A and B are shown apart, each in its own frame.
Chain A
């Protein structure tokens, strides 16, 4: 994400957090300050959670086992997403357009208990 080039679109700062074991895939760190483009360069549409997931796979993940995070270009089933502490199901899931200062939390439910 350090590679936020000064293209046409500006970037917005957000916080991305991983827990429930997912932090292992992201340099063993739970909280990441991330700058994302306000407009997705590929689709030229406002940057949403779907774009963010791809962005994280391209830029932030440090573990080779990306399939523990995404399957078939979508978030792996069994991972919860909280957008500012609200279930993403209430916010339109992948369609939710990211706002400056958003806190996005990914929690794996897949680990034993």
Chain B
């Protein structure tokens, strides 16, 4: 089951070969012009894209009939494509899903207010109800105010922590237990790379799962577009003439993810399959991490101890960090160091477990084999208990949840700023 990713990749590659046979191209995208080919192939691309997402959904058993599912909708290309594809597939294959759009208003003027207009149009186009939850109502702070207080540096951490909770809370308000997000293969590959560069295997392994959260967490997350190239998503949106919003978040240019993103795009130019290869490598590496459920398939019910913050949510905002490629690595290195400073803010339960199990020694004595089942092997380790935040009551593995910790810092600073 954990092989899903690789199987799909293989399947994709063979499909590509079929499509592009004779064109001597390793890679897809599909739209030949001229004469009779054009229309057929365009339809063909759309059909293949939808079929692949359908395959991901069925092979991972992401949904059950009658399930209420909230689509995390930002108005950007990924979530717009996700909403469109899910609507199409839900009708075509009779998933029986009750789909709702769930948007977070971070309170960023000139960015989110505009993109929310796109989401509103999408809600009408796709005939889905829309729920908008604002940072201001949940936390008493908009991101504009946060940035005014702490500056642009590190603001993505705040935004990411707040967004994660906000999506969960929004889902709870709607009585929904499953949120799907538009994370694509490029996003997952970036996250794998970032965690590789940080040496954070525990989080790396978690970031490759298609589903996060389990029965104990109230809201589960999944990413149906996990195996879709960003390129395909953009082309799909283009060919289906989808209405999406594409302005960069005005606060994101410093995000670490931006450097990883540039690197991935450069790799893709040289080796188009690099992105899915990285995703697959991430899944393979995940299997080597003790105690981690490496399955990319939901059918076994994953035991992620606590739905820890995944990088996905911290900066799903892909940023363009300018500069020459030579500067990218330097910039990334700098970001890595800065990121370590922020690491203190992040809950990382699994990592602790991992360290404990090594008996405090830095070296790994026992390397689990691929054929073994790591999930059953090392599950006796102490797991942190999922409780509730003493302040806001939201689920948390610590007395005070991350959002409240960040808010405390912000609230302390507020008087200074207002003077």
Contact = CB atoms under 8 A, between A and B. Distances in A.
B77 A111 contact: yes
A67 B76 contact: no
B29 A87 contact: yes
B74 A113 contact: yes
B246 interface: yes
A77 B205 CA distance: 27
A113 B76 CA distance: 4
B80 interface: yes
Given A67-B322, A72-B324, A85 B31 contact: yes
Interface string A73-84: 000111010111
A112 B322 contact: no
B7 interface: no
Contacts of A19: 238, 246
Given A85-B38, A111-B247, A113-B77, A71 B325 contact: yes
A77 B81 CA distance: 22
A32 B9 CA distance: 39
Interface residues of B, number: 47
Interface string A83-112: 111110110000000000000010111111
A111 B262 contact: no
Contacts of A105: 238
B182 interface: yes
Residue among A65, A80, A113 with max Cβ neighbours from chain B (10 Å): A113
B33 interface: yes
B317 interface: yes
A112 B320 contact: no
Given A20-B77, A112-B318, A113-B233, A82 B238 contact: yes
Nearest to A77: B265
A68 B265 contact: no
Contact of B33 (A68, A80, A83): A83
Contacts of A67: 322-324
A66 to B, nearest CB: 9
Nearest to B244: A113
B178 interface: no
A111 B114 CA distance: 15
B265 A78 contact: yes
A21 B248 contact: yes
Nearest to A86: B33
A91 to B, nearest CB: 8
Given A111-B246, A111-B248, A82 B268 contact: no
Interface residues of A, number: 29
A1 interface: no
A24 B325 CA distance: 22
Contacts of B231: 80, 109
A9 to B, nearest CB: 26
Given A21-B246, A82-B31, A107-B234, A112 B317 contact: yes
Interface in B319-356: 319-320, 322-325
A111 B27 contact: no
B126 to A, nearest CB: 16
A108 B322 contact: no
Contact of B322 (A65, A87, A109): A65
Interface string B28-60: 011111000010001000000000000000000
A112 B15 CA distance: 28
Nearest to B45: A87
B25 A90 contact: yes
A40 B78 CA distance: 38
A41 to B, nearest CB: 27
14 contacts: A20-B77, A21-B246, A67-B322, A77-B269, A78-B262, A78-B268, A80-B231, A109-B186, A109-B234, A110-B319, A110-B320, A111-B76, A112-B78, A112-B318
Given A112-B252, A112-B319, 18 more contacts: A20-B246, A65-B322, A67-B322, A71-B324, A78-B261, A78-B262, A80-B235, A86-B31, A86-B33, A90-B23, A108-B246, A109-B234, A111-B76, A111-B248, A112-B78, A112-B316, A113-B182, A113-B244
Interface of B: 23, 25, 27, 29-33, 38, 42, 74, 76-81, 182, 184, 186, 230-231, 233-235, 238, 244, 246-249, 252, 261-262, 265-266, 268-269, 316-320, 322-325
7 residue pairs, one from A and one from B, having the closest CB atoms: A113-B78, A113-B76, A78-B265, A77-B265, A112-B317, A87-B29, A21-B246
